[in-house]
Structure 1
Amino acid sequence: MQLQSRVLYAVLMASRVLVALSPAYIHPDEFFQSPEVAANDILGVQALRTWEFASKSPIRSIVPIYLYSGVPFAGLKLTLSVLQTLGFQIELTTRLIFCSQRVFMALLSFVVDISIYTAIRRLSPDARLRPTMLLLATCHCLAVFHTHPFGNSFASIILALCFALLSQIEHGFNVMAKYNKTSGKIRSTTLSLIRPVCALAVCLVLGVFSHITFAAFALPVAFACVVMVVQSTLHGELPILRAVAIVFAAGLSATLAAAAIILVDSVYYNSFNLSTVGSLPAIAGSLTCTVLNNFRYNSDNSNLVTHGMHPWYMHLVASMPTLFGPLYVLSVLKLWSFTRSLFKRNTGHTHCLSIAASSSAILGIGVLSTVAHQEPRFLVLALPGIVISTWRWHRLAPQYFWHLWISYNIVLTLIFAGVHQAGAVPVLEYVSKTSVASKMDCHLHAGDLVCARSLQLANAGSPKLKTKVLLYATYMAPRHLLAQPQDDSMQAYVELIDLVSASDYEVYAAIDSAVSVNCTHINRQDGSDQLVFGLSEDSQSYERTLFVAPASADLGLIMPTESSRFTLMPVYSYGPHVNFDHIQRVLQQPLKRSRLNVYLICKA
């Protein structure tokens, strides 16, 4: 790439990291399917383990989760330990936990760029890749979805790496065909092929355990590798014994990788005791194969009903346009004819990568369209295949394509990385700063406990101070972002209660039964002023209740006007925050209703 293009590309890479640090929240799975568990295990903070991990047949492998969530948390823990040893008093905070995960995912997303560049460059050394690389750098699917800790995103990164390895294998077979008369060259080329083939086998296994949908997208990659071995053997370019050696090495690598993951998962799920993190767990119980459990679960439509059922064409008419926009249109127009032309050419192994890439996108989208439950993020794995199979058309695309492409991706980036449920994480940060502490200096005033947050050591006999947080009409809040130790060492702590599926009556009942406080004791309720806690029903502790709701929610539906037992006092607000379930109300008053508000429940 020319200097100007390289500078632009570097700016776009830096922008990707900044986009990753945005608090926007795409789907609860980005927190509850990986960082929530990894933070609980590694950082020792309180977290919620969903049914996917807590059931008798867990469907999520802990190995990939530790690779893309455990590594940044382990690095964060080590860094804080070193700094504290050096005398720096640095706490584990919401921001540190959140940023470490997102920055790490942003760095991992660069593997997609590097892998696609490497794969195409091997396919065509003289390729003009500036349009392709700039298309990747401006793709919101890569900048947003791949920088959030989804299992799908990590699987997509592995798939891109598989294409790079496939291109290396294909190049090796082409070299072997060129020097098929020189036994020494055949021997050295065979040995150089075994390494990428074994690496590819391991990546394929890891991808399947990362997310089961990986299998549909990766099958053409594995098939292409097998075809190259068979063709080289039939053409006399690869001796049969060397072909057997390559196949055996690949099979052994895949088997060992699968066995290692199953063993680690079995140890983790059968005998891992969260209260003794750091000790060596014993192997107990039966083997746990999360891929098999996942397949069984998703094969039963009665299970999928709880997650939502969609028509077979949902991915084609909604998910693909959402993720790829104009690139989807380009792929539909060019992909089929391009694939047909590749199959018609008799050029040996030259086009195996392109065939595998186009087949990956087609087969993956086709297979996932047969599944009743469909979400756009399931198709992020189509990105590497689409880009590799259509790269020749990027530099030929008309100018209006690029105008549409840039405009579309700016809009989608603003939505998914700017405003979509963007207040959830900042609200958790506010709650953590004001409500989680090792000590609060308190005094009684008219029956309530008025406290100021402090980080001094707690005095013996200090009362427990609980802040109950009711979350309404917003996504589930990840508990690990509160940075609240699970060892119950804090005097002031938080309890989160999700009311996302509660009826209006149940929401009102939760507010009405909460401990309300006398808000006349304070002028403002934020991190710098005093906090007020009321005596709990059991008279053993003090608590207060915060009610979190988007400004777009109609609170009149859940709180009758005749109610006089309590009032809601605004204490914090974050914007922009858009709940798309309330999009009509947001559009009516976008500035006023694009916020997430926190209220203190006060006595009337």
Structure 2
Amino acid sequence: MNSRKIQHEETSLVSYYILCFLRVVLVFVPQTGYIHPDEFFQSVEVIVGDEYGLEVTRTWEFNNTFPIRSITLPYFGLKLPFSFLRFLSMYTKYYFGINLRGSYVTLVFPRFLMVALSFVNDWSLQKICTAYGLQSQFRLLTLASSYVMLVYSTRTFTNSIEMALCSLLLYIVSDCMIHSNTVIYQKEFLEEKYQKARNNVEKVKLYKLKSSLPRHSLNKCALVATLCVAGVFNRPTFLLFGMPLVFHWLLRGMGTRTVSFADFNARIVTFVLSALPALVFFIVVDSFYYGYLTPAELERMEIGIDNFVVTPLNFIRYNINSENTKQHGVHPYYLHLLVNIPVLYNVLGVIAVVSFFTIMYRFASNELTNLPRAQSFVGLMLSAIFFPIFMLSSINHQEPRFLLPITLPLVLLYAPKLKSGFCSSYPFKIRSRFKDFLYNYVLSTRSSSRYLFQVWYSTNLALTLFYGFIHQGGVYQLAAHFAHHIELRSATTQIHLVTSHIYSMPQCFLNLPSSQTLLINPANGQKYRRGKQFFLYEYGSMELPELYRKVKLILDISEMKAISSNQKYELYLAIPSSLAEELNDVFHNRTTALVKHSQVTVFYPHLSLEAPPKMLGQHLCGINTDLDELGDTCPIYAHEDEQNPYSLARILRQFSSLAHQFGLILYRIEVRKRIK
């Protein structure tokens, strides 16, 4: 039995190491999937633009008048590594002809830094399991097999950094709790022995032993406080994730004879004082970056309250207004608990939600003896999971990635249930056929080994492929295409790109020098700025007739400039291939406009939920832009039997149609020449 257990643990560890290797490999493949614009526009787009002086989109969150994002962690976590990369690129390009400033490196390099940070979660889990004597092999395997770690943790989200910081804080607090419990137990044991001692020699010996016990009340206070400040400046929602952890750190030993409210108050005061150095550091760095504080003012000591900016405070002031959050989407209050948790953690999330409602049922039934103690390991994990969930649910804008920091406590607490099932024993007091069926096929250990594992791994595999490679997967490929295209074109040629029904394209991948940078001509000392070469027009999910009018307007203006000032231009349109047939209809129904659209290329795979594929209706050749050639260019037509809906030709046509719609089409828009 022991040999089988050891073999199973070794297998789990081998599988875990393979998944860790896969986590790193998927960074370099690379993953072309695009989860949310924030993964670029809250980090890489701003930092690369500052470091390389590139033409980028600087979002409103980094507006100097009301900044809500701290630059301190991105500066030290991304800007300094990019500075080293720029220095290294000079030598690699000179000696080996390798350019380290291309779109591929710009995508992969920050993700490599993030995947290194992601292993903080694994390390914290291992340390917690060791401290509490828990089996770590299966928990590590569960963590590593989650698509949250394979995809989300490798992206440059502030949520991914928040997850790593929360995991580290959870380990520190857990370690402090078990350390305090051990010291308090030993101290109370020695005090009892001291009271029962009969002679002075024994009392002196016990007193010395009690005095030699390590201090625990303020253990790692400075580290906890600094970590909390960094977490709040990275993302102010860290307050909600860190609050229950800090509360458990403050609560250690309360209720025993050796810890009183005086110790509790002393911990609070020391915690606040320990947080001040980090707080001042973050405020000063942000104030310098956003121009509130300058070296000249610092030198003259002309410093007032207006010279400092507290970005987390601005963040809270903005998000506390429900009208502001409505602009980003309004969601129901139950979305986090009933939808986002299962989306992120599938069966593990369902187990967590069911377990929570079970605890609530026991609390309502006054079964207080079956509830976990507040200062226990289970109490810590439950508060780390559900307190932030319910607090975040009070905000009307909710996204799954907001819950990433609960990953570690969720795995620690509920991962074993993937093997043991929802219930290790019959949970119902009164038996019935339905309850027996529910227990035997859903809740029991036997059903778990049969179904839960399969659902867990298959769902995570599917979501890794979806978010890692398919979802908005053509956007990066589009940017890389134009980065190469711009290199081959003359600097005097203006390139206009119109996009619709896709996410915003990060311009940092284009590697274009900023048109806002003031330059000086060394020959005559005259100041000038570079002319803008690339123009991006993003129209969201605009209706295609309206999109056509926008494209026509841009084309007309560009044509007038080309005639009046001989300004060369190229106009392109990028749109999901699922809209190709409808787009063809819009263009060809406006023959008087004399606008020609010709396909340049298609980027696969790409799926825009704003324009999902049509299961029926669009055929393989639907993206062809010349209607007269459809019958000649589509070989399926030659063998198609229109009378038989189940013919092989028709089935192949529908399958090809569906596959074709998972793409992003790039069109060249030109003025159609008149035929005399």
- TM-score range, shorter-chain basis? 0.7 to 0.9
8 Å Cα contact 2:587/2:595 also seen in 1: no
8 Å Cα contact 1:167/1:353 also seen in 2: yes
Seen in structure 2, the aligned counterparts of structure 1 residues 187 and 575 have a Cα distance that, compared at 3 Å, is: farther
8 Å Cα contact 1:320/1:328 also seen in 2: yes
- Partner amino acid for 2:539? L
Seen in structure 2, the aligned counterparts of structure 1 residues 188 and 177 have a Cα distance that, compared at 3 Å, is: same
> d(CA) in 1 for partners of 2:53 and 2:461?
38
Find the partner of 1:510 among 550, 557, 560. Answer: 550
1:79 and 2:76 equivalent?
Answer: no
1:393 and 2:417 equivalent?
Answer: yes
Matched residue, 2:565: 539
Following superposition, the deviation at residue 141 of structure 1 comes to 1.7
8 Å Cα contact 2:64/2:290 also seen in 1: no
Equivalent residues in 2 for 1:27-38 (5 A)?
Answer: 27-38=36-47
More helix by share: 2
1:108-155 C-alpha deviation (Å, 9 max, x unpaired): 1111111122112212x2x22222111111111222122211111211
Following superposition, the deviation at residue 53 of structure 1 comes to 1.1
Equivalent residues in 2 for 1:11-22 (5 A)?
Answer: 11-20=18-27, 21-22=30-31
Structure of higher CA gyration radius: 2
> d(CA) in 1 for partners of 2:396 and 2:159?
18
8 Å Cα contact 1:354/1:388 also seen in 2: no
8 Å Cα contact 1:551/1:596 also seen in 2: yes
Seen in structure 2, the aligned counterparts of structure 1 residues 549 and 391 have a Cα distance that, compared at 3 Å, is: closer
Following superposition, the deviation at residue 99 of structure 1 comes to 0.5
Helix, strand or coil at the partner of 1:59: coil
Find the partner of 2:388 among 364, 370, 374. Answer: 364
1:284-303 C-alpha deviation (Å, 9 max, x unpaired): 94321111111111111111
Seen in structure 2, the aligned counterparts of structure 1 residues 193 and 560 have a Cα distance that, compared at 3 Å, is: farther
8 Å Cα contact 2:348/2:415 also seen in 1: no
Q: Give the share of equivalent positions with the same residue, in percent.
A: 25
Find the partner of 2:539 among 499, 505, 512. Answer: 499
Find the partner of 1:131 among 109, 116, 138. Answer: 138
> d(CA) in 2 for partners of 1:248 and 1:22?
46
Seen in structure 2, the aligned counterparts of structure 1 residues 537 and 239 have a Cα distance that, compared at 3 Å, is: same
Residue range with higher mean Cα deviation, 476-485 or 549-558: 549-558
1:290 and 2:311 equivalent?
Answer: yes
Following superposition, the deviation at residue 506 of structure 1 comes to 4.1
Matched residue, 1:107: 116
8 Å Cα contact 1:507/1:558 also seen in 2: no
Find the partner of 1:255 among 261, 271, 276. Answer: 276
> d(CA) in 1 for partners of 2:79 and 2:213?
37
Find the partner of 2:324 among 287, 300, 303. Answer: 303
Seen in structure 2, the aligned counterparts of structure 1 residues 188 and 317 have a Cα distance that, compared at 3 Å, is: same
8 Å Cα contact 1:131/1:394 also seen in 2: no
Matched residue, 2:226: 202
Structure-2-length-normalised TM-score? 0.74
Matched residue, 1:163: 170
Following superposition, the deviation at residue 87 of structure 1 comes to 6.1
- Partner amino acid for 2:113? F
1:374-404 C-alpha deviation (Å, 9 max, x unpaired): 1111112221221223245344232121111
1:402-433 C-alpha deviation (Å, 9 max, x unpaired): 11111111121121112100000011001001
> d(CA) in 2 for partners of 1:286 and 1:27?
34
Find the partner of 1:592 among 637, 660, 663. Answer: 660
Seen in structure 2, the aligned counterparts of structure 1 residues 491 and 89 have a Cα distance that, compared at 3 Å, is: farther
Matched residue, 2:342: 321
> d(CA) in 2 for partners of 1:268 and 1:332?
43
> d(CA) in 1 for partners of 2:473 and 2:122?
27
Matched residue, 1:277: none
Find the partner of 1:479 among 483, 503, 507. Answer: 507
1:423 and 2:474 equivalent?
Answer: yes
1:582 and 2:611 equivalent?
Answer: yes
Helix, strand or coil at the partner of 2:53: coil
1:8 and 2:48 equivalent?
Answer: no
1:236 and 2:258 equivalent?
Answer: yes
1:475-494 C-alpha deviation (Å, 9 max, x unpaired): 10111121222258989942
> d(CA) in 2 for partners of 1:435 and 1:185?
75
Equivalent residues in 2 for 1:342-491 (5 A)?
Answer: 344=369, 352-397=376-421, 398-399=448-449, 400-436=451-487, 464-486=492-514, 487=517
Following superposition, the deviation at residue 556 of structure 1 comes to 4.3
Following superposition, the deviation at residue 324 of structure 1 comes to 1.0
Following superposition, the deviation at residue 5 of structure 1 comes to 2.6
1:263-282 C-alpha deviation (Å, 9 max, x unpaired): 21122112589xxxxxxxx9
Helix, strand or coil at the partner of 1:567: strand
1:141 and 2:169 equivalent?
Answer: no
> d(CA) in 2 for partners of 1:252 and 1:85?
51
Seen in structure 2, the aligned counterparts of structure 1 residues 166 and 586 have a Cα distance that, compared at 3 Å, is: farther
Find the partner of 1:559 among 587, 597, 603. Answer: 587
Helix, strand or coil at the partner of 1:578: coil
- Partner amino acid for 2:103? T
8 Å Cα contact 2:33/2:470 also seen in 1: yes
Seen in structure 2, the aligned counterparts of structure 1 residues 191 and 36 have a Cα distance that, compared at 3 Å, is: farther
Following superposition, the deviation at residue 583 of structure 1 comes to 2.1
Seen in structure 2, the aligned counterparts of structure 1 residues 429 and 183 have a Cα distance that, compared at 3 Å, is: farther
CA RMSD of aligned residues (A): 3.4
Following superposition, the deviation at residue 160 of structure 1 comes to 0.6
Structure 1: gaps of 5 or more residues? 274-281, 441-450, 452-462, 519-532
Matched residue, 2:600: 571
> d(CA) in 1 for partners of 2:614 and 2:269?
61
> d(CA) in 2 for partners of 1:225 and 1:573?
55
Matched residue, 1:529: none
Helix, strand or coil at the partner of 2:420: coil
8 Å Cα contact 2:541/2:610 also seen in 1: no
Tell me how many residue pairs correspond in the alignment: 553
- Partner amino acid for 1:262? I
Structure-1-length-normalised TM-score? 0.83
1:289-322 C-alpha deviation (Å, 9 max, x unpaired): 1111111111111112211111111222321111
> d(CA) in 2 for partners of 1:244 and 1:370?
30
Seen in structure 2, the aligned counterparts of structure 1 residues 165 and 186 have a Cα distance that, compared at 3 Å, is: farther
Find the partner of 2:126 among 98, 106, 117. Answer: 117
Helix, strand or coil at the partner of 2:20: helix
Following superposition, the deviation at residue 227 of structure 1 comes to 0.2
Residue range with higher mean Cα deviation, 366-375 or 485-494: 485-494
8 Å Cα contact 1:61/1:209 also seen in 2: yes
Structure 2: gaps of 5 or more residues? 1-5, 191-205, 295-301, 422-447, 520-528, 618-656
8 Å Cα contact 2:337/2:353 also seen in 1: no
- Partner amino acid for 2:402? F
> d(CA) in 2 for partners of 1:565 and 1:591?
31
> d(CA) in 2 for partners of 1:347 and 1:212?
29
8 Å Cα contact 2:24/2:115 also seen in 1: yes
8 Å Cα contact 1:578/1:586 also seen in 2: no
1:150-201 C-alpha deviation (Å, 9 max, x unpaired): 1112111110111111122123213322442477777776567756332122
> d(CA) in 1 for partners of 2:539 and 2:551?
11
> d(CA) in 1 for partners of 2:564 and 2:323?
42
> d(CA) in 2 for partners of 1:185 and 1:402?
50
Residue range with higher mean Cα deviation, 169-178 or 396-405: 169-178
Find the partner of 2:285 among 264, 276, 294. Answer: 264
